[in-house]
Amino acid sequence: MKKTLLVIVALLGFCSLGFSQLSIQDTSGATLTNGDTLAVNGTAGYQLSAHVYIYNAIVPIPVEAIAIPGNVAVSGCTYSICVGPTCYKTVPVNTNFTSPSFNVPKGKDSNAFYQDYNAVNAGTTVIMYEIKNKTGTDSAWFFVKFIAVPTGIQTIAANNLHISSLYPNPANSSFSFTYHTDYDAQLSIYNSLGQEVKAIALSPAKESISINTTDMPSGIYICRVQAAGANTAFRRLVVSH
């Protein structure tokens, strides 16, 4: 009882000081300020992706993830969000989305918050993402600017590396994806413990690959593609046998 009262007092104290329980951290661990913008560059016809982490300073709470497209320069594109192993439906880019409630633990949630944009057409789209508690008294929010250039136009990176969505995903016996790289690249697949389970060379002479997953236990994996002169690309893979 005493412990419960102390928690309540602490919560009231934080509220009175204008303390924010929720915040967003980028992949380097830096905390974003509400209203910050992340930029993602890519090519039309491919999926553009970003991911961040939710940080919860006090006690586990239920929250919602909200997405509101603000500047939609192109039509026909779609987007979706994932929180850890849970991916929500894909919606048109001119449509707002609110996820069902989910719980975030105290501290940094090990489940990444993914923002995926299917760039059917070239152009720039800005989407605001918000993590809000169920009472609406606390939230953390940021923008992602997705910039898709027409196929054949070089991006800023010296190596024009692009990766499509993984399909099928979830995968049973195998998954495939298309890619483009000007130089040799490396695909690394990591399990939920951060252990590398596969390492596969990607040749610029080929633009598609199929990966066997029969030797991979059911679970969540992160696929990382690296190549010289290019930003590292990440894709989330679900294996389900």
pLDDT digits (tens, 9 = 90+) for 106-121: 988 877 888 888 888 8
Residues 6+ apart with CB under 8 A from 235: 47, 49, 163, 165, 166, 177, 222, 223, 225
The closest alpha carbon to 189, from 178, 200, 179, 181, belongs to 200
List domains and CATH numbers for the chain.
20-149 (2.60.40.10), 162-239 (2.60.40.10)
Q: For 159-201, how does the pLDDT look when each residue is reduced to its tens digit (9 = 90+)?
A: 667 788 888 988 999 999 888 887 888 898 988 777 889 999 9
Q: Assess whether pLDDT exceeds 70 at residue 6.
A: no
Q: Assess whether pLDDT exceeds 70 at residue 19.
A: no
Residue length, the chain? 241
The pLDDT score that the predictor gives to residue 13 is 41
**In the predicted model, what is the mean pLDDT of residues 222-228?**
81
The pLDDT score that the predictor gives to residue 4 is 41
The pLDDT score that the predictor gives to residue 18 is 45
Residue 197 Cα distances to 177, 215, 221, 224, angstroms: 18, 10, 9, 12
**In the predicted model, what is the mean pLDDT of residues 65-91?**
81
Q: Are 147 and 43 in contact (CB under 8 A)?
A: no
pTM exceeding the 0.85 threshold for the entire prediction: no
Q: Are 115 and 81 in contact (CB under 8 A)?
A: yes
